[in-house]
Amino acid sequence: MTASQRADDLIGAYWQGAHLQNPNFLEEMRAVNPVLMSPTHGLTVLTGHAEITAALRHPDIRTIKFEGGEGFSQTASYAVMNPMMLFHDGGSHTRLRSLAQRAFTPRVLEESREFIAALTDDLLTEAAAASRSANGEDADGVDIVQAVAYPLPVTVIVRMLGLTGTDAERFRAWSESVADLLGGVNLPPERWGQIEADAQQMREYFRTLADDLRAEPQPGLLSALAAAEAEGGGGRLSSAELLANAVLLLVAGHETTSNLIAGSFHALAEHPEQRAWLAADPAGRAANATEELLRFLSPVRGSGRFTTAPLTLGDVTLPAGMHLSLSYASGNRDPRLYGQPQRLDLSRSNARTHLAFAGGPHYCLGATLARLESTTFLTRLMTRFPEYVVPEQAISHRPNFALQGLERLWVAF
């Protein structure tokens, strides 16, 4: 088999989701070449840390636009997704990002610290009580995804945006639809129907909310965004941009952190020596533990880009117009940077070099908030319940190219 045929086979399998089922598949790709190009598929997959980092910062590499098949541009799903800053570069991205950044200033985050700690304690207390109650009848305990991993970050971002917590379940359903739009695999027609219905509901909800917030401003970022739209005149923030980026902030503000928290429960249970290390000094060690868990778990699997001019990455020359798939999950396990990359090492000295928050102009806007939530969670969990138990169970991850998270995890306290 020639090198080009090998690349075609690997990328064809990757495109069909082989890396979602086989934990060693990305290593196989990286071993062939960390920049693996297949002109046949019109796709290059980046699996090396250095190569991904270079791509994220290269001026001739841009984000993939949110597109679809014929007629898709007329759907509510397209209207919700296309104006998100996630799919913009240059001036339009800078404009949108600068407005959203108001929610993540050091002062705002510091004001959230005590709230996050109190909320974490409340959720852990409730989860422990539910686990003890369940253990009287069922040894499985409590689903920690539902009990802690989801409600913690969603409650925080809802508060920062200035929304009410009464719509939490609706937000969850919408978030799952946005996650599927970002990277869902083999979605059946009925799921597409539900996604489109959710997208229409999102547009109606945030349009009505924006009208209400302009009439009666409230604390929180959405009031600021609504005011920016009203002040726009020259198009500083369009109605479509307001709606799309309100949805993005809601979803991105909790989806990946939820996956990190649930994954942390499981990873620490699977590595008792690392859990013991963290439990010996939770407050002092939680920050570095968070970085290593972000590296190890990769809540964001990857993202898409394309080249706007011919360029060279690693030892591969790429043509203009080449689509790129950046595998953060693989870059975070690159043995050229991380010794024993498959091993969880909470004291790893270079853990913070991970790609969990991407890099370059699109570096995650909420990275500081995610770190604060995770560090607080780990400190409180290891202080209060260092001996929690994860019973033997089948572990399944959501089938998604972009996001990596557990579907459920039973925990006993």
Whole-number mean pLDDT of the chain? 91
Better pLDDT: 1 or 411: 411
Give domain limits for the chain: 3-411
Tell me the per-residue pLDDT of 310-332, one tens digit each, with 9 for 90 and over. 999 999 999 999 999 999 999 99
Average pLDDT over residues 182-209: 91
Nearest in space to 301 (alpha carbons), one of 120, 46, 44: 46
3-411 belongs to which homologous superfamily? Cytochrome P450 (1.10.630.10)
**pTM for the predicted model, two decimal places:** 0.93
Q: Specify the pLDDT at position 235.
A: 47
Residue 30 has pLDDT above 80, yes or no: yes
Q: How far is CA 348 from CA 49, 200, 215, 288, 316, in A?
A: 16, 45, 51, 8, 31
Query: Pairing between strand 43-46 and 323-327?
Result: parallel
For residue 231, name the pLDDT band (cuts at 50, 70, 90).
low
Do residues 158 and 164 touch, judged by C-beta distance below 8 A?
A: yes
Greater confidence (354 vs 112) lies with: 354
218 falls in which pLDDT band (50, 70, 90)? confident
pLDDT tens digits, residue range 116-132?
999 999 999 999 999 88
pLDDT tens digits for range 125-179: 999 999 887 655 555 799 999 999 999 999 998 888 888 777 777 888 898 899 9
pLDDT at 405: 93
